[in-house]
Every structure is written in structure tokens, then in C-alpha cells.
Amino acid sequence: MGISSPRGRRAVAFLVPTAVCVLAFAYGLPKLAPYRDVLSTIRALTSGWAVVLLLAAAVNLLANWLFIAAAIPGLPLRRAAAVNLASTAVANTVPAGGAVSVGVSWRMLSSWGLSARSFAVYTGVTGVWSTLAKLATPAVAVGVLAATGRLTSGTGAVATLCLGAAMCAGLFLAGVVVVRRSLRDERAARAVGRGAQRWTDRLFRMLRRTGPTTVAAAVLRFRDDAVDLLRTRSCRLTLASVGNDLGWLLVFQTCLLACGVPQSQVPWSRCLAGFALARVLSLVPVTPGGVGVIEWGVGAYLVASLDPASAARVTTAVLLARALTYVLPIPLGAVAYAGWRLRLRRPARASASANANPGPSDTEAADA
């Protein structure tokens, strides 16, 4: 069985994320703080802090739902919540879950009447907005650290952070230019469409299959639909995207405070930098939802130069934040998906029952 075979690719897609998770949780995180110290910190949490943490997690989830509702005009918030939870649960548990979660979103949204054309616009616009937000965050974090005089956590760390922020800022600016020009200039959109058609043709030639010939036209239709959406929803989408980031940051900062980490050790500006690092690491699709990679990377950044006791509290806060933002949506998403399937079956069952037991005909009713 070679790596290029379907079974080989499936094996690699399973083994690589598994190896990364084992390395992170069995070797990397225990180097930052022993798990017994992490458990001791969790046991010391009061019920009051537990309630505050759950409230912060609820605010973060609400921000995600508002972002989806902003991208689909007329979608009720409860349905935005259901599709977000279900798709997130898949993305956080399945290898290459991002692609699978798109399929889950399509099944749910199409059952509520969303057309394929509108779904393509929703997927494209939210994907672009989310990626641009992830790329902008590191530059914002470095700017805040510099403005507050806290960009002094060691020459190596500062150089790495600034280099990463500069690369992300360059990609962000290039992305903004490409998106802006594609949306405003029809010639640029046509050029993008022709390029997409060429790449599609090459891909299908490699697969030895006949590919679609309408990719360029589809790109132009997408551009027109996206312009219509952004004309009325760009500000709302931008605010929702910022609120999405602030919701995650709220959970992170609350976890630090709940675990007894004072501002003198991890100030809010350094917390912002840790959040920015998490956003960058989430762009690398090594594991579902960046599990293992984000915990290890953010933990290593925040515990640098801290004593063992403080490092244990910070590591606990990182794991708690990930539990509330990564683990919590999984069971909630399973419940949301099951509820959608149950509601979907009820009309079908009612229709089948009506067909199996037809009422009296008009003639029979008149005779009666």
C-alpha cells in the first residue's frame, strides 16, 4: 500500500494528526507543567469562577452565531447556532474536518431553503473574512505590545513574534488588495475566473476526467452576488468578525484570572499576543481545530521565564480555554445535529402517514 493510494492517504491523514497530538500532550505540555499540578489548579477553582467561565464561553458562542447570521440575511439566530455548533463539532473531530463541515453546513442550510448559489456566497465571504481576521490579529497584537512597552520578552521571542506578524500583515494586505480589486474591477474578476478555469482543467486532466467548462462564469456570478451581499452587510460582517475574536479573547483572559494568574505575570497585552499566536497556528491544518499544536505553542509562549507554580496556573488556563472553545462545541454540536435530523424526519413521516392512510374521496364524502 503506497502513500499515493487512497488507503495510504487515509492512513497518513490519520497517523500524522495522531502523532502530533501524542507528542504535544504526552511530551510537550508536561514539560511546561506536570499534569498533577494542572489538576490541583482545576480542583482549586470555585463554583463562582466556574459560572463566570461558562458565561464567557456562552458569549463566545453567541459571537460565532452572530457572524453566521450576518452573512445569511433572514437566517434566524437559533438556526445559525445549530449550523455553527454542528459544523464546528465535525471540524474539531474529523481529519480534514473543515471540508466535511462545509458539507454538514450545506445539508442543514439547504433543508431550510438556502440555494446553492447563496450558500457559495456565504461560504466564500465568511471564509475570506475569517482568514483576513486571522492574518490581521498578529500585527494588531505586536502593535499593542509595542504601544504598552511590553515587547521585551526576550530577543528570540520578540524576533519570532515580529517576523510572524510581518508575514501575516503582508499576506493580509495582499489579500485585501486582491479581494477589493476582484470585487470592484470586472476585468480583474474575469482574470481570476480564467485562472480558476485553467487550474480546474489541469486538475481534471490529471484525474483523466472531463471537467466543468463554466468555472469562469461561476466566478463572475459569485463576484456579483458577493458585491450585493457586501454592499449591505460589510460593516455588520466586520463587526461580527471582530466580536468573534473578542469572544475568544474574553474566554482566554477569564481563564487566566480564574486560575489565579495576575496581570503582573500575564498582562492583557501578552494575552492578546498569545491569542494572536493561536489564530496563526489554527491556519496550519495539521490536526483538527489545531488541537495539540495550539495548546503547546501558546502555553510555551506564555510560560516563558515563569516559575513552576505560575507556569502550572498558566498552562491550566490555556487548557481550560481550549476546553471551552474547542471541546464544548462538540457535544453541543452533536445535540444540535440530532435535533435537526429529528425535525427533518417529522414532515417526512407525516407525509408518509398521509399517503398510507388517505382520507375519504370526495364522492364517498358526498354519499355520506
In a domain, 82, yes or no: yes
In a domain, 350, yes or no: no
Model confidence at 155: pLDDT above 70: no
Q: What percent of the chain has pLDDT over 70?
A: 87
- Which three-class secondary structure string do you get for 190-213? HHHHHHHHHHHHHHHHHCCCCCCC
Kindly tell me the burial class for residue 212, based on how many C-beta atoms sit within 10 Å of its own C-beta (0-12, 13-18, 19 or more).
exposed
Per-residue pLDDT, 2: 54
Is pLDDT larger for residue 49 or for residue 349? 49
Model confidence at 62: pLDDT above 90: yes
In a domain, 365, yes or no: no
Per-residue pLDDT, 100: 84
Q: Which domain holds residue 202?
A: 18-344
Q: How does the average pLDDT of the chain come out, rounded? A: 83
**Mean pLDDT within 24-50:** 92
Angle at 123 between CA 59 and CA 118, to 5 degrees: 110
Residues 6+ apart with CB under 8 A from 326: 92, 289, 291
Task: Note the pLDDT tens digit of each residue in 115-140.
Answer: 988 898 898 888 888 888 888 888 88
**Integer angstrom CA distances of residue 92 from 58, 190, 331, 348:** 18, 36, 11, 31
* Nearest-angstrom CA–CA distance, 24 and 32: 11
Per-residue pLDDT, 321: 93
Contact between 278 and 302 (Cβ < 8 Å): no
pTM beyond cutoff 0.95: no
In a domain, 329, yes or no: yes
Say how many domains are in the chain: 1
Question: Grid coordinates 502550572 are at which residue?
Answer: 312
Is pLDDT larger for residue 27 or for residue 216? 27
Q: What percent of the chain has pLDDT over 90?
A: 30
In a domain, 364, yes or no: no
* Nearest-angstrom CA–CA distance, 197 and 220: 12
In a domain, 360, yes or no: no
> Among 78-87, 306-315, 355-364, which is the least confidently predicted range?
355-364
Per-residue pLDDT, 363: 47
In a domain, 351, yes or no: no
In a domain, 359, yes or no: no
Alpha helix stretches (DSSP H) within the chain: 6-23, 29-32, 35-43, 47-71, 77-91, 97-111, 116-147, 155-184, 186-206, 215-258, 268-281, 293-302, 308-322, 329-356, 362-367
Contact between 275 and 165 (Cβ < 8 Å): no
Model confidence at 366: pLDDT above 80: no
Task: Note the pLDDT tens digit of each residue in 246-298.
Answer: 898 899 999 999 999 988 888 888 888 888 878 777 777 778 778 888 888 88
